[in-house]
Amino acid sequence: MPARVEPCLALLKAKPPKGDDWVFEIKWDGYRLAVHIEPSGVRILTRGGHDWTDRFPAIAAEAKRLPVSTAILDGEAVVFDEHGRSDFGRLQQSLGGRGGKRTSREAVLLVFDLLYFDGHDLTGTELTARRHLLEGLVPAGGEEAIRLSEEVEADGDTLLRIACEHDLEGIIAKHRNSTYRSGRLGDWLKIKCIQSDGFIIVGYEKSTGSFGGIGRLLLAARKGDELVYVGGVGTGFNERSATELRRQMDKLVIDKPAVETGRKRNAVFIRPELVAEIEYRAWTHDGKLRHASYKGLREVQDNAAVFDLNGNAK
C-alpha cells in the first residue's frame, strides 16, 4: 500500500465535453483529502501530503467503521450550508481559520474515487471499475461523515445549467475509461458556474466603516515567476472572517509593496504569502478582476494554487 498517491486534478474547461465516454458529478467546494485505512489505523492526508487526521475526527471515526481492511479513499471534505450546498468559508471557520488548529466535527467527506482496496492497487484500473467497488463500500445516501459523491446521469450542458441555477460551484466530468493518473492531464475536467481561483494578497486599503478595518484587499496573480496586480476585492467578508484575516495580515506588514499597485489611499502592504480564494465573474480589458468576492484563505497544506495569467489556472 503506497504511503501517498499524488491526486488526479481536474483541468478547467469552459464547456462540458460531449459523448458517452464522460460521466458527471457535482463540483464540491472544500479541501481535497485522501483517507488511508489500514489495520494499524486511519490517516487523513491533505492534497499537499500533510497529516490532518486529528483535524477531522468524525471522518476518521467513520473510516474505521467501513467494512474494509485496507483502502485509500479520494474525496473532498465539505461543510454544508442551510441549503445543502458545500460552503468553503464555513469549512474553514469550522477548522479555526487559516493556520488554525481546531478540529471540525461538522465536515463530511464526499468520496469520489477508490485508489486502493483490500491489498490491490486500483490506480491502473479504469474509472468504471473503481466506482463499482467504491459504491459497494460507501453506499449512496445516508447522513454519515463519509458519503458517496454520486455520479449524475445527465447531459453535461443540462447538468451545468441546473447546477448554476442552484448556485452550485459547477460540475466535474470524468472519462469513464481513464486510469487514475496524478496531475492535471485532462482525464478529469471541471466546468464552473462562477470563476473561483487563488490570488495572493499584497496589501489592503484601510476603512473605519468595514469589518476588521479592511476596505479592500489588494490582489496579485502570477505571470511566470513574477507577480502582477489584478485589482481588489471589498465584499464577501463577515466580522469573523475579516477579524481573522486582519490578524494574519498584521504579522506580514512591509514598508513597500511587493508589486506595483498604482496610487492607493490608506494602503497597508504585506509580504505576498497569503493566498485568498476569490470568486469573480470576468476580467476587465486592463486585466483586473470584475465583481470579485472574498471566500476565504487557502491553506499551505492544501497546496494553495495561485492563478497564473499565462493560462495555468489552478
C-alpha cell of 234? Answer: 471589498
Residue 149 near residue 28, CB atoms below 8 Å: yes
173: left (phi over 0), alpha (psi -120 to 50) or beta: beta
The whole-angstrom separation of Cα 289 and Cα 229 is 10
Find where cell 476588521 sits: 212
Q: E-strand spans in 224-292?
A: 226-233, 253-254, 267-270, 275-280, 282-283, 289-290
- The C-alpha atoms of residue 255 and residue 22 are separated, in whole angstroms, by 52
Enumerate the active-site residues.
27
Nearest 5°: CA angle at 172, between 16 and 89? 125
Asked if 216 and 209 count as a contact pair (C-beta separation under 8 A), the reply is no
